Structure 1
Amino acid sequence: MSAPDTLTDLPPSAPVPTDTHPALDAPDYSPEPVPGETSLGASPTICADTARRTFFARQDEITLTFLRQLEGVPIPRYGRAGCISGQIHLASTYGVTAVSLQLEGRIVVDLEGRLPMFTYHFLKIPLALWEKGTNGEKYPPFAMPFRFDIPETFVDDGGKEYSLPPSYEPEMESVNLKDLYVQCSYTLSVKMARGRFMPSKLMVQKVNYDPRTVPPTHTLIYPFPYTTVTDETPPHGWRRYDEVIVARPQNGFHDVHCQLYAPALRVYSMKSGPIPYFLRVHGHSESMSALLCHAPPAPTSSPRSRWGITHASQSTTYDIEVHIKRQVSIAVGGVSAARSYIVGKGTLRDLPPVYRSEEDVNTVDYEGEVQIEPTVAVGGFDMGKLSIADFFVFTIKAVDPRKAAFEELTHSHTIRIVTGL
């Protein structure tokens, strides 16, 4: 008997026993945690369960309705990966030859004296609703539904992909930006085309794109354990930044060392509470005396005391300040520029014991918090031509630099401010 020519000619064999067991029934799932469960993360949008109002906008013979809007919003508002849905209502269809919509996103930049007003459209999504002659129709219906799915990203003219930026119209920040004007906006336009003897109609409605981002959860030992902290390992949830206050050589002092402790997770919600921090300053006793000089904090009526502590030396005083700074940067039309301003001021207070001596080395400890100002309306973002970045900034500087025994110290590290829920 000859052997089979191919594997397909082999007779079927008995199944090989395995240790595989049938899958158990899948567990029950629910959109919200049940007792004993917790959410590990969230990517929130504008909640459809609470947004059940209809927003109306009217211009001439065109009425736009937007479904599932929160009550009282000035313009329609949508979150990340949201859906713009509604209807167009026409008061008259006489002479109408076409009806179309377009969702647009654009930035406008104006830098006084250096850059004329620059407009860049980063998003254009057209939607044709009706055209004369389609399916033999002479007139459009009086009401036509529409729907746009908002993308999460866009590709710029250089081929690079970015996340879709939020609506940004810094009316409250225009003074801080000085000669720089920036705007990021979204519009939904309706065009009703008519015959050559009748004027066409165009309606433009602003919409607010407000993607929400929740900061990751983290644990933090608080209050800061300043009595037991060592130089080897920062407490759980904290990160240490080492800096040096450089002494000017002509004064004969030694450099003074600073250790700034801030939360290791550098993502904060604009709606969160104060951000804590801890500061340790230590150095040679004579240098510490020249820098701090046992002076008490400035009185609470002093404007400086709202965000810092002022110490006096024999020649001048030194301010210790902590704040959050926001930087708005542009790179358009061959011009790059940035403007910065403060969006959060910190408090600072001595911790007992104020001074500790060890082998002619003195140590001073401080703690404090910095609060993001309520005027901050958007989180940081980067879309290439326009970006917003935030920084945690710590400075020690002389009130009168001409009499200073030490150089000014400025430390900054990037943080990210997000919207929260």
Structure 2
Amino acid sequence: MSLALAQPPAYELAQTPSYAVLPRSGEQRLALSGRMPTRAIRSGTFEKRSKRLVLALYEQRAEGEVPVIDRGGWVSGCVGLLERAQEVQKVEVKIDGVLYGQTSRAGSTMSSNRSLTDGKMKLMYLSESLTLWEKKSQTNTTCPTEIPFRHRLPKTFFDNQGNEWLIPPTFETNFKGMYGFMAYSRCTISVILTVPRGLDKFWSKDTSLSTPFVLQARTRPPFASIEMSSRLLETLKSAPEAWSQHNFTVQTTDTLVGQLYISKPTAYCMNDPIPFHLQLTGESAALAFFQLSQPAMERGSVQVSILRHISVAALDGDVVHRVPGGRSNQRLVSQSPGLLSWEGELIADADTVNVGSFRVGPISMTDYVSITIDPPPSKKTQKIAFIQTSRRFQIVLTTDRWQDMGEAGPSYEL
């Protein structure tokens, strides 16, 4: 008996689906693998000494002048007593963090205890107390000369109104010529000893020892940016979904239309260059004043930069101080009738931008890509009325790259 082999069913060759770097409408990312963290492991020890006390903090940068502790990270260290340990009744470690803002306007919107009317705000976001050793009554135990400790800092805190905030990084502001405006965030770690009454005169001021520390609030973008080719315009055409487009106009006799393209997500590590593409379209007569062929006195300027806003909220509105946050190395890449194109990278200023963008209560640091278009200085442009144009588009600057996600804190979802 012969067996007839059944024919397999016919299949139609389906068209290969198109793929995009970022999820499109109706799609979602199920998983994303990051690279191994690239940050160096801190293995040094920081020491602060007095006549009778030593505070040692572990997991610090080698030869660091100020200890650094991550938000939500571990504080590891040891308290050492150099003499008279038998007289000590209690050893405590206290960790404090304060956020302070001051404006020349009255009426801060929030304080740790009450609403102030003198334009000042003080908010305690860290107040941790650890009892390392305490002498029990009616015992002859002596305080150890070395007491190790390990404590994890919180990531968030609640203000007096019950609102939860991420703990801010430490920072200092120094605004010359801006009277009445001040903002800072400072942290300290202290060792406090309790000794019997009558002996405190022998200890003098050696019953406490404090040191400031840098609280590092680490953040990262929510996902990686597209890998850039040597020409940004090529990437813009091949993967338009990976770019964020921002439109604006330049008021002249004949309106010019501008488009700024920056890569998604609009959150960037402050140590990395930020690629951008800028183009102006409109009447050739107006665009001609921005071409390199024009003499310097007859040429307008187009500047792209990073602008940081540091603001303190008051009852009658925000008080904002604007500081330059970075520059660009832009270059004109296309000159054609009705179109001018620039591309380049924005570089954050390490002296100004040393913490990431954040907001805690009435104090915030917000970053923008700023575009300033200045008209030509020459009188030859009087036939075309130019108006100086400034536009800004918000971005977020983070401390870490997306690839460092193994160690970094929360991401910014924009």
Instruction: Give the TM-score taking structure 2 as reference length.
Output: 0.73
Structure 2 counterpart of 1:192: 193
Question: In 1, Cα distance between the equivalents of 2:323 and 2:167?
Answer: 24
Q: Superposition pairs for residues 218-257 of structure 1, below 5 Å? A: 218-224=225-231, 226=233, 235-247=240-252, 253-257=253-257
* Pairs within 5 Å for 1:56-205: 56-90=47-81, 91-111=83-103, 118-134=121-137, 136-137=139-140, 139-170=142-173, 174-175=175-176, 180-199=181-200, 201-205=207-211
1:108-130 CA distances to partner (integer Å, 9 max, x unpaired)? 33446875765321110111223
Correspondence for 1:387: 364
Equivalent residue in structure 1 for 2:294, among 275, 293, 296: 296
Deviation at 1:134, TM superposition (A): 4.9
Task: For 1:326-405, list aligned pairs within 5 A.
Answer: 326-331=308-313, 336-352=318-334, 354-356=335-337, 362-375=338-351, 376-398=353-375, 405=385
> In structure 2, do the counterparts of structure 1 residues 406 and 60 end up closer, same or farther at CA, with 3 Å as the change threshold?
same
Larger Rg belongs to: 1
Distance 1:45 1:81 in 2: 19
Deviation of residue 64 (structure 1)? 1.0
1:224 Cα shift?
4.5
Matches of 1:335 and 1:135, distance apart in 2: 60
C-alpha distance in structure 1 between counterparts of 2:103 and 2:317, whole Å? 9
Give the partner amino acid of 2:242.
G
Partner Cα separation in structure 2 for residue 124 and residue 45 of structure 1 = 32
CA distance in 1 between counterparts of 2:67 and 2:284 reads: 62
Residue-by-residue CA offset, 1:5-49 (whole Å, 9 max, x unaligned): xxxxxxxxxxxxxxxxxxxxxxxxxxxxxxxxx9823796976xx
Question: Are 2:103 and 2:120, in contact at CA under 8 Å, matched by a contact in 1?
Answer: yes
Q: 1:264, CA displacement in angstroms?
A: 2.5
Cα deviations across residues 341-381 of structure 1 (Å, max 9, x unaligned)?
A: 111112333224x122xxxxx22222222211232321111
The structure-2 alpha-carbon separation of the partners of 1:192 and 1:268, relative to structure 1 and needing over 3 Å to count, comes to same
Alpha-carbon distance in structure 1 between the residues aligned to 2:354 and 2:282? 41
Counterpart residue type for residue 395 of structure 2: I
1:414 to 382, 394, 399: 394
User: Is 1:276 aligned to residue 292 of structure 2?
Assistant: no
Q: Is the 8 A contact 2:119 2:314 kept in 1?
A: no
Higher relative contact order (CA 8 A, sep 6+): 2
2:3 aligns with none
Select the residue among 290, 301, 306 that pairs with 1:319.
Answer: 301
Identify if the C-alpha distance between structure 1 residues 346 and 53 changes in structure 2 by more than 3 Å, giving closer, same or farther: closer
Return the offset for 1:163. 1.3
SS at match of 2:66: coil
- Cα distance in structure 1, aligned partners of 2:121 and 2:303: 37
Q: Tell me how far apart the structure 1 counterparts of residues 341 and 249 of structure 2 sit (CA, whole Å).
A: 16
For 2:263, the aligned partner's letter is: P
Letter in 2 for 1:40: S
In structure 2, the CA distance between the partners of 1:327 and 1:259, relative to structure 1 (3 Å rule), is same
Compare 125-134 and 98-107 and name the one that shifted more. 125-134
Aligned mates of 2:90, 2:357 — CA distance in 1: 41
| Alignment partners' CA distance in 1, 2:46 and 2:292 | 63
- 2: CA distance, partners of 1:343 / 1:351: 25
1:229 CA displacement: 7.1
Task: Tell me, yes or no, if the aligned pair for 1:99 and 1:190 is still in contact at 8 Å.
Answer: yes
Contact 2:303–2:372 (8 Å) recurs in 1 = yes
Aligned residue pair count = 349
Identical residues among aligned pairs (%): 23
Question: Which deviations, in whole Å up to 9, do the C-alpha atoms of 1:185-213 show, x marking residues without a partner?
Answer: 21111111222223372221222222333
| Structure 1 unaligned regions, length at least 5 | 1-37, 248-252, 299-310, 357-361
- Judged with a 3 Å threshold, the aligned counterparts in structure 2 of structure 1 residues 135 and 371 are, in CA distance, closer, same or farther, namely farther
CA distance in 1, matches of 2:92, 2:226: 52
Shift in alpha-carbon separation, 1:92–1:415, aligned structure 2, 3 A: same
Tell me, yes or no, if the aligned pair for 1:105 and 1:123 is still in contact at 8 Å: yes
Letter in 2 for 1:212: R
For residue 370 of structure 1, what is the amino acid of its counterpart? L
Corresponding residue number in structure 2 for 1:308: none
The residue number in structure 2 matching 1:208 is: 214
| 5+ long unaligned stretches in structure 2 | 1-30, 107-117, 405-414
- The one-letter code sitting in structure 2 at the alignment partner of 1:143 is E
